[in-house]
Chain A
Amino acid sequence: MPDYFHGYSVVGLVAVVGVCFVAVAFGAGRLLRPVVPTREKMLTYECGVDPVGDGWAHTQVRYYVYAFLYVIFAVDSVFLFPWATVFAAPGYGATTLVEMFVFLGFLTVGLLYAWKKGVLEWT
């Protein structure tokens, strides 16, 4: 167990190194670069003309159904990993495999259903 946490403490140290690297770079950048703000410079970029309307514009999120699909599949596929490490171990074998096929079958039927319903079309 201590070994287990040791591994992640090194990963944590790497994260600290990363944060320090970014902080130092941004700090050094602040010292190096000029600061000459003008009104035009601070405008939102819109191909050179003055921006029209608000920046957070209305837009149609066409793929929210994809988002639902993703959540369903992602949560399911997480269960694959613990299963993957044991399914071929002695005492599991074919039965475990068939069980997972049933599980994957459910996923596939769900995907086929979504496909047939036209959810996977863009418009």
Chain B
Amino acid sequence: MDVLDVALRLVAVLVAFLTLPLLVGQTEHKVMAHMQGRVGPMYAGGFHGWAQLVADGVKFAQKEDIVPDGADRRVFQLAPAVALIPYLLVLVAIPFAPDGGVGQAVDAGIFFVLAVMGVGVLGSLMGGWASANKFSLLGGLRTGAQLMAYELPMLLAAASVAMAAGTASLTGILDAFEWWWVPWQIIGALVFFTAGLAELQRPPFDAPVADSEIIFGAYTEYTGLRFAFFLLAEYAGIVVLCALTTVLFLGGWHGPFAADLGWVWTLLKTSVLAFVVIWLRVSYPRLREDQIQRVAWTGLVPLALLQIALTGVVKVVIQ
């Protein structure tokens, strides 16, 4: 165990964790603005408002931290950390380049990644319950319902890739990847990405934080740094989801000159997916709570089962 090597990897993961979500956030500011016929933040930092999120961060750090009298104090304060840390843990297991280009190759990668991502939702549940606020409670319950509905299609779609590759390790999946997997697994890819959006509570699945109905759901009572951490968790979630979709369904670092430019391919594919996430936010109306459940149980779950059947048959036939 090379201490220096491990330390370097830890630092790299932490840096990626702190910069990539901000990049996505800034892109969201700008892309949303231009899609809506305005320019977005222009002042902070001088050039096209590039430092807007840094300024936001400074503002958040200076704000008073309010815990309502009625709240369950400890749980309330701990919730943002529970929401945030799992995404850092997931990031370490995502391969970005060939031949050891990964924070740490975890043996049962898919399993680990999906399990840890599920923990992040606990943060929202804790916040929703501990706030002792009716909006928060409703938001928390909606979060819980959404997690239960969408975890399943996500798991099934990921299982399909594990079947195709014959391994549950993320690096193993990329080593086995062939280009024709993309059309072969396309249904699974769509299911996985959609279910991931729902788990992150991103539009059109943002009923748990629907600002026009229940203020900001589980985050209603949060201010300052803790609120910022919830937001950071959301954007880290986008990075993780897009990177995972890239690795599982789009071939990760595969592409021309993969040996040298593998990490560029990973970043490029991830950014395109992140752009799609933002695009969906601007262009799709929010689903109602019952519609959200229906999409999952009568749409995505059967589709995911279909993909598994397809994967199984094709795999046995080509053997």
Interface residues, chain A, with chain B CB atoms under 8 Å away? 4, 6-8, 10-11, 13-15, 17-19, 21-22, 25-26, 28-30, 32-37, 41-47, 51, 54-57, 59, 61, 63, 66-67, 69-70, 73-74, 77-78, 80-81, 84-89, 93-94, 97, 100-101, 104, 107-108, 111, 114-115, 120-123
Contacts and interface: CB of A to CB of B under 8 A. Distances in A.
Interface of B: 1, 6, 9-10, 13-14, 61-71, 80-81, 84-85, 88-89, 92-93, 103-108, 110-112, 129, 131-135, 137-138, 141, 145, 148-149, 151-152, 155-156, 159-160, 162-163, 166-168, 215, 220-221, 224-225, 229, 289-290, 293-294, 297-298, 301-302, 305, 308-309, 312-313, 315-316, 319
Given A4-B107, A88-B319, A120-B293, A104 B308 contact: yes
Contact of A115 (B105, B133, B134, B298): B298
Contacts of A104: 305, 308-309
Contacts of B308: 80, 104
A77 B152 contact: yes
How would you classify the secondary structure of chain B's contact residues: helix, strand, loop or mixed? helix
A25 B225 contact: yes
A106 B319 CA distance: 27
A87 B61 contact: no
B134 A70 contact: no
Contacts of B305: 104, 107-108
A57 B61 contact: no
A77 B162 CA distance: 13
A35 to B, nearest CB: 6
Contacts of B135: 45-46
Nearest to A108: B305
A88 B84 CA distance: 38
A29 B225 contact: yes
B159 A67 contact: no
A101 B84 contact: no
A37 B31 CA distance: 39
A7 B62 CA distance: 39
A84 B65 CA distance: 48
A84 B162 contact: yes
B103 A85 contact: no
20 contacts: A8-B106, A10-B9, A10-B92, A13-B6, A14-B103, A22-B84, A29-B225, A34-B64, A41-B66, A42-B69, A45-B221, A57-B134, A70-B149, A70-B151, A77-B152, A77-B159, A81-B162, A84-B160, A108-B302, A108-B305
B66 A7 contact: no
B41 to A, nearest CB: 23
